[in-house]
Amino acid sequence: MTIFRIYNLMTKIIRPLFYLFFIYRFLKNKEERGKYSERKGFSSNKKPKGKIVWVHAASVGEALSSLPLIDKLKELSPKISILITTSTKTSKEIIVKKKIDDLIHQYVPWDNEKFCTNFLNFWQPDLAIFLESEIWPNLLNETNKKNIPLCLVNARITDNTFKKWLKFPKTIKYLLSFFSIIIAQDELSKIKLQKLGAKNIFVYGNLKNDSKKLLYDIEDFRKYDEFLKEKSLLVAASTHEGEEVEIINKFKSLLIELPNLFLVVAPRHPDRRSDLVKIIKKSGFTDKDFILRSSNNYLDQNIKIFLLDSIGELGYFYKKSNAVIMGGAFGYFGGHNPIEPALFENAIFSGPNFYNFKDEYNQLLKNDGAKIIYDMDDLSILKNKEKLLSMAKNSKIFSENIKGTADKISVKLIGLLNENY
């Protein structure tokens, strides 16, 4: 508790500096113009009548996880309104593109007692759902003080998070006590949460397993169809700094034996486009060899690499490919969701550090739908088309057989909502 009081005091002391912080982030293209008031807990939206379910999905991963859950909540209780808060511009773009009825987006207030109170006084949600491991002390404390039922959903506690939280056992136990229910992704996360003092924990699986096929604008991509008919498409998705160099270099060597191979690089953070252009050129490709999605130009026969420097458009390339290299696991970023490309019938290739999606990858490996890449030479399997297509088929079957998490979670949450209304 002492640590919580110190944290609370510090956020009060630095409150006058939040505007400068907002300006700094805005200049870094990490904040949206005109949204400073939302970060202080005020809203430019009109509050709807009836029940409001508040879902907090901090970043891109959580935002994508929330979508099947929101669909099921609306299916079970059509009259509820969904208020979703995010922390990043990218996650907002993903949510807004879905155009879900009775859904309102607002940026989450910064974790200052006054800002959180502003937010809660205006919206007065009937249920609050936090995804994965979003523990903001003031936001949780103020929500609890207003007797709003709190749920931690799709909870996942990594080894690093667990070690950090163990350093503040009393504070973490106090914060976890605010949650009426906690729904964990797996038994290991449940055990860690129990050791931290959490109670009323259920294990229903990973919401990301219920991912729907990624949507895209068919008309916008039609101009690429004819070109890609003649190509064997390889997608490097959600890549991070330090991963693209080896992938692009290996792609270049594969072109000798697979001249029709075509690489799409979709970085996790599209604003890294200038760095990626430098990497591509340093690998020996010229300006005529690659194109950026943001240029909106047509593809010609000289193009070998397509840099997808945009958000929410991977679905088209997943559909056109049979092989996807998932980023985030060659470095130490924990990997990214393999179910999204698997739904489009793709063989999945990943580095060994996929600890954020351990169950999914282990099952894909067991079902021969994925392969771990310890060395980029392992990608030579791309030359074996028969094996590639077999892996792609296996990943598709697996992705269809693991759905159902959102159904179980939504029933539990609607039950809690009705109990407290």
Closest by CA position to 264, among listed 248, 279, 288, 253: 248
One domain for residues 414 and 397: no
List beta partners, residue 326.
237, 350
Phi-psi region of 53 (alpha: psi -120 to 50; beta: other; left: phi over 0): beta
Total number of domains constituting the chain: 2
Q: Please state, in angstroms and rounded to a whole number, the distance separating the CA atoms of residues 321 and 263.
A: 10
One domain for residues 165 and 230: no
Structure confidence at residue 79 (pLDDT): 92
One domain for residues 171 and 246: no
Domain that holds residue 148: 28-212+404-419
One domain for residues 241 and 163: no
One domain for residues 140 and 152: yes
Give, for all 421 residues of the chain, the pLDDT tens digit.
678 899 999 999 999 999 999 999 999 888 999 999 999 999 989 999 999 999 999 888 888 889 999 999 999 999 999 999 999 888 898 888 777 888 999 999 999 999 999 999 999 999 999 999 888 999 999 999 999 999 999 998 888 899 999 999 999 999 999 999 999 999 999 999 999 999 999 999 999 889 888 888 888 898 899 999 989 999 999 999 999 999 999 999 999 999 999 999 999 999 999 999 999 999 999 999 999 999 877 788 889 999 999 988 999 999 999 999 999 999 999 999 999 999 999 999 999 999 888 889 999 999 999 999 999 999 999 999 999 999 999 999 999 998 999 999 999 999 999 886 5
Q: Please state, in angstroms and rounded to a whole number, the distance separating the CA atoms of residues 176 and 170.
A: 10
One domain for residues 370 and 387: yes
Q: Please state, in angstroms and rounded to a whole number, the distance separating the CA atoms of residues 54 and 103.
A: 10
Sheet holding 261-267, edge to edge: 290-292, 305-307, 261-267, 232-239, 323-326, 347-350, 370-372
